[in-house]
Amino acid sequence: MKTAFIIHGFNGDTVYTFGPSLKSFLEAKGYYVIMPSFPIRSDASYIKWSKILDEYKEYFSSDSIVIAHSIGNPFFIKYISQNNLKVGTYISVAGFCDLFTVPEREDLNRAFIDFAVNDSQIDYTKKTIPNKFSLYSDNDHVIPLNILKNFISKMGSSPIFIKGVGHMGNRDNISSLPQIESIINKLGL
C-alpha cells in the first residue's frame, strides 16, 4: 500500500491549511494518508509525538512520502533515524534543523530544544532518503531565511522557493501548496 504522512507543526495548523487539499490529492492517487494529530503548543514534546507516531511505524517504507511542516521536520528527522525507518520521498515545508530562538516565545524555544537533531540524525536522513525537496519563502515570520537555506544545504534537498508565502501556515492564509503536487507528479508517484 502506498502511504503518505503529513506531519503538522507546533500550532497544528497544517491539518486545516494545506493539509486537507494535499490529503485529497494524495488519496486520489491511491495513497493511504496519515495525518497524526500531535499535542500542540506548550503540550508539544518529542516523547508525546513519538508515542503517537509509533502507532504508524508499520506504514513507513521506501515507497512512503513524508511532508512535514516547520517543527515537524526536526521531529521527523529525529524519529526516523532513532527508529531506523526508510521513506522514498521527503518534502519539507519551512523546514529547519538549526537551533535558534524566537523572541518572547519561550514555549516555542523549549520545543526547539526538545525536538533538536544532531549531525548523525541529519546524515541518516540525508543518506537514506533518495528524493528530498524543501519549500521555503523569503518572508517567513518564524524561521529566518539563513536557517531555511542552511537546512536545504545540510539535507542536500532540492530547494523550492515560493515568494511571499511566509511560514506557510494559518497566519499566511495557505490552503494549498500546488508545488508539492507538482513534485509528486514529476516523480511519477
> Which CATH number does the domain housing residue 176 bear?
3.40.50.1820
pLDDT at 170 over 90: no
pLDDT at 22 over 90: yes
DSSP 32-88: EEE------GGG--HHHHHHHHHTTGGG--TT-EEEEETTHHHHHHHHHHHTT---S
Q: Could you give phi then psi for residue 9, rounded to 5 degrees?
A: -100, -165
The number of helix segments (H) and strand segments (E) in the chain equals: 7, 6
Tens of pLDDT, residues 87-134: 999 999 999 999 999 988 999 999 999 999 999 999 999 999 999 999
Which pLDDT score is estimated for 103?
87
Q: Which domain holds residue 133?
A: 3-187
Q: Model pTM greater than 0.95?
A: yes
Which pLDDT score is estimated for 132?
98
The CA distance from 162 to 4, in Å, is 23
Amino acid at 62: S
Residue 81: how many CB atoms within 10 A of its CB? Answer: 18
Which pLDDT score is estimated for 93?
98
Amino acid at 175: S
Q: Across residues 12-27, what is the average pLDDT?
A: 95
How many domains is the chain partitioned into structurally?
1
Q: Model confidence at 16, in pLDDT bands (50, 70, 90)?
A: confident
